[in-house]
Amino acid sequence: MTPDVPTLHLPRRTGRRHSTSESPFVRRLLIGVALAFLSLFLFLPLVSVFTQAFAKGMGFYVHTIVDPMTLSAIKLTLIAAAIAVPLNCVFGVCAAWTIAKFDFRGKNILLTLIDLPFSVSPVISGLIYVLVFGAQGWLGLYLNADHPRLPWLANWLNDHDIKIIFAVPGIVLATIFVTFPFVARELIPLMQAQGRNEEEAARVLGASGWQTFWRVTLPNIKWGLLYGVILCNARAMGEFGAVSVVSGKIRGQTNTLPLHIEALYDDYNFTGAFAVASLLALLALVTLGLKLWVEHNQAALNEVEVS
């Protein structure tokens, strides 16, 4: 054996093409473990949701879905998402724009605050809203005070019987809170990576700030934005914890889909619970599909950029 002479033999183990690839045994083991996990914890539950949902046949499934309580829950979920997602979309773009394109004091504090909903338990965030807006909270104290400040506001709120907790506004607020990082988090790194050059080019060419946003910034971030919106929407429709605290769970009035599923389950109507759950599962599958499609488009864009 002469170590100095370069040898031109094939690598010892065939099929080993890169220095970082492992032996077939290790590879198969890793893939096997990953697949086993996936099927046990993701695929099996998904299949079971659908089998359980149809356990009493198609008739019962349809009956559960068209039940007024279910329809009301669907409606409320759609309303909450329809308000929360566009608002978070606007907020996310504003926050990402501010953070990526300007330098200012407290930038890191803003970044940390954006992550707050991720780090706080949803139940706590629901509770915060109860403490602020509930009958025993600040809003309640204000409305019941003998001499409130801004009496016209207190009167107006009392006259119109504006309720936030145990009502739709509370559900919307809680949904906005738990979903607001999604769009911002998706856009910040993207906008930071893109820098300011294209915006500057547009400005020098005479474009106004508004034109620069619509014609240059938005087209550049559209896939990232769409991705954020999809994730935000999925979470908005699926949120349980925070909404559960503020909703009061009045059937037909303040129950969202996840809360309605819990209610059905608590009634021992397992098949009904799974039938409604299958709607959310379906939403998840659609979300995954959309996510794949967006990622594919983003990747195609990046590939072209590099080459």
> Interface with other proteins by CB under 8 A: which residues?
197-198, 200-208, 211, 215-216, 219-220, 301, 304-305, 307
The answer to whether residues 234 and 163 touch, using CB atoms and an 8 Å cutoff, is no
Of 136 and 211, the one with the shorter C-beta distance to other proteins is 211
Nearest to 237 by CA among 175, 294, 167, 169: 175
Of 20 and 307, the one with the shorter C-beta distance to other proteins is 307
Shortest Cβ 220–other proteins spacing (Å): 7
Shortest Cβ 215–other proteins spacing (Å): 7
Shortest Cβ 87–other proteins spacing (Å): 26
For residues 132 and 162, give the distance between their C-alpha atoms in angstroms, rounded to a whole number.
14
Shortest Cβ 95–other proteins spacing (Å): 23
For residues 148 and 141, give the distance between their C-alpha atoms in angstroms, rounded to a whole number.
9
Burial of 138 (0-12, 13-18, 19+ CB in 10 A): exposed
Of 66 and 193, the one with the shorter C-beta distance to other proteins is 193
The stretches of 24-166 forming alpha helices (DSSP H) are 24-38, 44-53, 57-66, 68-101, 107-119, 122-133, 138-144, 151-159
For residues 249 and 259, give the distance between their C-alpha atoms in angstroms, rounded to a whole number.
7
Shortest Cβ 103–other proteins spacing (Å): 10
Of 101 and 249, the one with the shorter C-beta distance to other proteins is 101
For residues 301 and 167, give the distance between their C-alpha atoms in angstroms, rounded to a whole number.
44
Q: Phi then psi for 21, rounded to 5 degrees?
A: -80, 150
Of 161 and 305, the one with the shorter C-beta distance to other proteins is 305
Shortest Cβ 199–other proteins spacing (Å): 9
Of 269 and 298, the one with the shorter C-beta distance to other proteins is 298
The answer to whether residues 29 and 241 touch, using CB atoms and an 8 Å cutoff, is no
